[in-house]
Chain A
Amino acid sequence: MTRLRPTSLRRFGLGLLLASLLSLLADPAAASNAAVGLAGASQDNLAVPRWLYLATGGATVGASALLASFVTDRRFIERVHLWQTGPEAGVSDGVLRALRVAGGVLGLAVLALAVYLGYTGPQIPTVSFAVIVVFAGLRAGYTMLSYLVADTWRALNPWRTVVSAVPNGFVSYPERLGRWPAVAGILALVWVETATAVTTRPSVLATALVAYSVVTLAGAVVVGADAWFDKVDPVSVFLHFYGRVAPVRLDDDGLSVRLPGMRLVTDDDLTDLGDVAVAVVLVWELTFSGFVTTEQGAAAVRWLAGVGLPPLFVYGLLYLGGFGVFLGLYVLAARVTARRIDTFETPLDLAVKFAPSLLAIAAGYHLAHYFGFFVSLSPMLVHALSSPLSSPSNPVVLTLPAWFGGLNVGFVLLGHLLAVWVAHSQAYRTFPSRLQAVRSQFPFVAVMILYTILSLWLISLPTASPPFL
């Protein structure tokens, strides 16, 4: 590419980027008072009105998008998302095989223990190996590991280990289904988590694990391990999508490290609307479980049930309707972009190209929702994993200092800022004109601002247990 721009302008752009990062550090500090105040028992010490806190969060995302639009040097943008170490050639096949075997054994052992101890262990969630490993481990800590460090699920996945050992793949997977079965599966699993006793009764959780194992093994043997775990299995799709954000990756090319989230720009392996729906469902399920566990959410459900609607119907409507709205808003942004810009890219192409940026948002939300939970339960998790057969008589739960509420605001904003940059890089890869690249992002940024405001609102609300469940 021909360099025509003076370097001073590039420095200017870089300076602005740094300034936006600084403002990011400053903004949550101002806004966190609200979250901390609300997390406490009293609401009197609320320093900033809630609408102002929400508007500030939304404006932070909008202003960062504007600041990012000042960075118009293609070479600089490319250097950021292509920067990587390696791939190191140092990882030998023997080490890889040993890691896979160790991961497979570990995964199988943990699954077997979870099922066995779920039935035979104490039926109290706070000392149950099954409940702790599945929710504090897989749902919280392991998912964080997947997007913060590296996606290791392929080696650990116990069902894949079993299926790979037997003949599989008798029917070819119907490609037109895409990843829609995984979307339905993730929605179903989150539903089971919210609406049934899997989080409180270890034996119910063990039954759910057995049922899940039967379905997974049968399905994977029929359509083949690769197709099943890539397209259908909700847990694998969930973890692999989060894993796209991670900086470290070990694959056939070896071990490589990239900047966090930058693989989202270059992976190019999302292809249709089903893949977009997976990215949206990751954002939506966290928003939904955030909503129904707040006092306001509980009050809304109670009110709707009071009108005469059955509670489960209310939850289902909120759950699927909200998902439809989230997906619809995102697709609408893609349509608006395709219409505003002189291009042959269809709305679907654009929706697919910008969908990976949603994963950065989902990672930020996940961290905001689960980081405190994971830290406070981490002593229990360590105990459960180090001595699974002896239940602690007195489980240790860490009490979190009040400023943890402020961290959550930071995580939500950080996820969105990363998403803004991913979308910016993607726009420069897609459009030949820099002005088009800038303008293409506006509808997506508008949707992101809406998501931010909604999510910041949810984490600022006092929590309650959802009614009727």
Chain B
Amino acid sequence: MTTDTDATRDRHTCTACGEAYPTERLLVLHRGARHPDDLDAAEVEAYREAYYEEEDELKSFRIRALGVLVLLYFGFLMLFIVFAS
């Protein structure tokens, strides 16, 4: 099922399973994760690159998530010290 906005966007379709993705990068990641045996050498290289690029983004996400967890932890610690008796 597609919406109106989808019709105007590029469809990058997987030749192995027919799934479509809005960007080339997502298709590369999909093929690397789902059809690792169908990749040729260039695709393996593209997947490796996309994977590491995403790894960097994930790293920055992890740092932010860790920050939120620390805030939550100490925030609740303070709340319990003040309000729980």
Contacts and interface: CB of A to CB of B under 8 A. Distances in A.
Interface of A: 1-2, 4-5, 30, 47-49, 52, 55-56, 59, 62-63, 66-67, 69-70, 72, 74, 342-344, 346, 348-349, 432-436, 438
A200 B14 CA distance: 60
Interface residues of B, number: 39
Contact of B32 (A1, A59, A67, A342): A1
B29 A433 contact: yes
A243 to B, nearest CB: 29
Nearest to B39: A2
B68 A4 contact: no
B83 A49 contact: yes
B76 A56 contact: yes
Interface of B: 1-3, 6, 11, 20-23, 25-27, 29-30, 32-34, 36, 44, 47-48, 51-52, 54-55, 57-58, 61-62, 65, 68-69, 72, 76, 79-80, 83-85
Contacts of B3: 346
A59 B44 CA distance: 41
Contact of A432 (B27, B52, B69, B79): B27
A30 B1 contact: no
A434 B58 contact: yes
Nearest to A65: B65
11 contacts: A1-B32, A1-B33, A1-B36, A49-B83, A49-B84, A63-B69, A66-B65, A66-B69, A69-B61, A432-B27, A432-B33
A435 B54 contact: yes
Contacts of B1: 346, 348-349
B72 A59 contact: yes
Contact of A30 (B32, B61, B80): B80
A382 to B, nearest CB: 41
Question: Which residue, of B6, B27, B52, B84, has the highest number of chain A Cβ atoms within 10 A?
Answer: B84
B26 A342 contact: yes
A405 to B, nearest CB: 17
A230 B18 CA distance: 30
A261 to B, nearest CB: 23
A435 B57 contact: yes
B26 A432 contact: yes
Given A49-B84, A74-B33, A435 B61 contact: yes
